[in-house]
A = this chain, B = another copy of it.
């Protein structure tokens, strides 16, 4: 179990927490919160695997993922409002999560011989579909469609990662650079209050 797998599991855990928290604000019971946590954490990878015809689906072959997600439910319940004290830590691991999800999705697609353009899309899908489904289940317009440089950071990271591949960077170094890049973009964009332009109403 290498460092990347561990960070991937932490990202899964933090994604699940984010789903459980949004669910808890929507008057759901423990079952509903568990499902929303689950879908938030594995939704992106599942859609990617279905699109790529990559079976078995990752979390069905490696039971660690469902277990980590289930563990997030009592954790969130016990921590309660105290989670707000750790919002910076959660933010960092959430961002590491989207960075790794992007890279892993991209690698899978490239290993199947897909073009870099489609692979970048697959990386982004891995990173963002879970959060979009969470918001649909909680009857909100998906957050990332409205504000924050988020998916854009994933796409920019996908470009960096691909450049690293082209230059034959060692894999771990490429992971590190891409992740640092995505974290930087997201952090700076929040500090500077950057956002994408709204669409004009047409």
- List residues of A whose CB falls within 8 A of some B CB: 20-21, 23-33, 35-36, 46, 50-51, 53, 55-57, 60, 63, 66, 76-77, 79-81, 83, 114-115, 117-118, 121, 132, 136-142, 144-147, 151-152, 195-202
Q: Are A200 and B80 within 8 A (Cβ)?
A: yes
Q: From residue A65, how far is it (CB to closest CB) to chain B in Å?
A: 11
Residues of B within 8 A of A144 (CB): 31-32
What's the Cα separation between A83 and B147 when bound, in Å? Answer: 26
A-B contact pairs, 22 of them (CB 8 A): A21-B202, A24-B198, A24-B199, A24-B200, A25-B201, A28-B141, A28-B146, A29-B195, A29-B196, A30-B197, A31-B144, A35-B132, A46-B51, A56-B114, A63-B117, A63-B118, A66-B118, A77-B199, A77-B200, A80-B200, A80-B202, A139-B140
Q: Are A29 and B136 within 8 A (Cβ)?
A: no
Report which of B31, B53, B117, B139 forms a contact with A55, defined as CB distance below 8 A.
B53
**CB within 8 Å for A121 and B66 given contacts A77-B200, A114-B60:** yes
Q: From residue A50, how far is it (CB to closest CB) to chain B in Å?
A: 6
Residue ID in chain B nearest A50 by CB atoms: B50
**CB within 8 Å for A30 and B196 given contacts A57-B51, A60-B118, A117-B66:** yes
